[in-house]
Amino acid sequence: MTSNRRVAYTRYMNWDKDVIFKALGDSTRRLILDELSERNELTLYELTVRLIMKHDLSISRQAIAKHLSALEDAGLVKSKRKGKYRVLIFNKEPLKNLLKEWIE
pLDDT tens per residue, range 58-86: 999 899 999 999 999 999 999 999 999 99
Query: DSSP of the chain, one letter per residue?
Result: --HHHHHHHHHHHHHHHHHHHHHHTSHHHHHHHHHHHHSS-EEHHHHHHHHHHHH-----HHHHHHHHHHHHHTTSEEEEEETTEEEEEE--HHHHHHHHHHH-
- Confidence band for 26, pLDDT divided at 50, 70 and 90: very high
More confident residue, 21 or 2: 21
Give pLDDT, residue 64.
Answer: 95
What is the domain count for the chain?
A: 1
- CATH number of the domain bearing residue 55: 1.10.10.10
Q: What are the tens digits of pLDDT across the range 5-18?
A: 343 333 344 458 88
Q: Which domain holds residue 29?
A: 3-103
